[in-house]
Copies of this chain bind each other. A is one copy, B any other.
Amino acid sequence: MAKSEKYAVGVDLGGTNIKVGIVSESGRIISKTSVKTEAMSGPKVVIKNIKKGINEILKNNKRKISGIGIGAPGIVSTKKGTVQNPPNLPGWDEIELGAIIKKEFGLKVNVENDANAAAIGELIFGAGKKFESFVMVTLGTGVGGGIVFNHKIFRGEIGGAGEIGHVCIDPNGPRCNCGSTGCIEAYAGNHYIKESVKKDLHNHPSSKIWELIENDLEKVSPRVIQMAAELGDVYAKEFIHDLGIKLGVAFTSISNVLDISTFIIGGGVAGFGSPLFTTIKSTMVSRVLTPLKHRIKIVPAKLKNEAGILGASALVFYNT
């Protein structure tokens, strides 16, 4: 197989780093590199850095490359290869990233929203292989989402679909980064989890978290909460349980609207693992409409650290 296998370049355009890799058609990472995004210097510099990363990875490559896949934040037109208003990349308006990279390297270029690329990655290489339809959830800095329906990404009117982080579970809830209130991201985003525990920990003086953070609240992180929970800490366990309920409430709304029953969950916060997943599932089963109840599946994502590169390269092999 190895001889006839195809290869692609996958580019994961993040707000801090641009990760670039050469990936085989079967999802094997051959080589990878990372360059700084320098987002604050504006699109010209960012594009220069994308080119730099791709050049670096192609320098010693002898394999035939089928194309370049790019996962980018913001509204992406997959047809036009444009990236519009990416939240963490100032000054972009609308940029023809696909055409620019194609011109530079003379290769086919597929651009896709990063959350959708993650969903396609799971669909082609990961936990989504055996499902025709699922909602991909990335619990990280934000709560990202991608909707796969009948093996295709559901994109909506202008490519903005899948923003499941901004499903509201309480209009009187906390302020969300998007400007609204009570979005599930305002409970489950990395930053909100930290802030919530930092505020609340004083009410739990015997929590094992104190020891793990050496009494320095700045060290609170989802990882620390997870460790405390694994040590049996009641507060940490309750925090994860409560988060699972909130995510279950949001996912129930999504499931009822889409009639999609499988949720694949990745990102750092998914590290809470089985206690989180079990609560999400039991919450959903108790809340969704009857025809969905026996179908609900909560599945951990398979692609971990290289999800971005893998998802981006999958765009080349699988044109949705």
How far is it, in angstroms, between the C-alpha of A142 and the C-alpha of B12 when the chains are bound? 45
Contact with B along A9-44 (1 / 0, CB 8 A): 000000000000000000000000000000000000
Instruction: With A85-B290, A85-B291, A291-B84 as known contacts, state yes or no: A260 contacts B168, CB within 8 Å.
Output: no
Please give the distance in Å from A101's CB to the nearest CB on chain B.
23
Number of copies: 2
Residues on B with C-beta less than 8 A from A257 are 145, 147, 161-164, 167, 254, 257-258
Looking at A151-159, A213-221, A267-275, the stretch in contact with chain B turns out to be: A151-159
With A252-B168, A256-B167, A257-B258 already in contact, the answer to whether A158 and B75 are too (CB < 8 A) is: no
A234 within 8 A of B: no
By the criterion of a CB under 8 Å from any partner CB, how many residues of chain A are at the interface? 50
Contacts of A55 in B (CB 8 A): none
CB contacts (< 8 Å) of A252 on chain B: these are: 166, 168, 180
The answer, among B133, B157, B178, for a CB contact under 8 Å with A157, is: B133
Do A260 and B156 have beta carbons less than 8 Å apart?
yes
Confirm or deny: A306 has a beta carbon within 8 angstroms of a beta carbon on chain B: no
The CA of A245 and the CA of B171, in the complex, are separated in Å by 10
The interface residues of chain B lying within 8 Å CB-to-CB of A254 are 257
**Choice from B132, B133, B157 contacting A260 with Cβ under 8 Å:** B157
The reply to whether B291 and A160 form a contact with Cβ atoms under 8 Å apart is yes
Per the bound structure, the CA–CA distance linking A287 and B250 in Å amounts to 16
A165-194: CB near B (< 8 Å → 1, else 0) gives 011111100000011110000000000000
Q: Say how far A171's CB is from chain B's closest CB, in angstroms.
A: 5
Q: Is A261 an interface residue (CB 8 A)?
A: yes
28 residue pairs bridging A and B, Cβ less than 8 Å apart: A84-B291, A132-B157, A147-B257, A149-B156, A154-B154, A157-B261, A158-B259, A158-B291, A159-B259, A160-B291, A160-B292, A161-B257, A162-B259, A163-B259, A166-B289, A168-B250, A168-B252, A168-B253, A168-B287, A169-B169, A169-B170, A169-B171, A170-B170, A171-B246, A171-B249, A179-B287, A180-B286, A254-B257
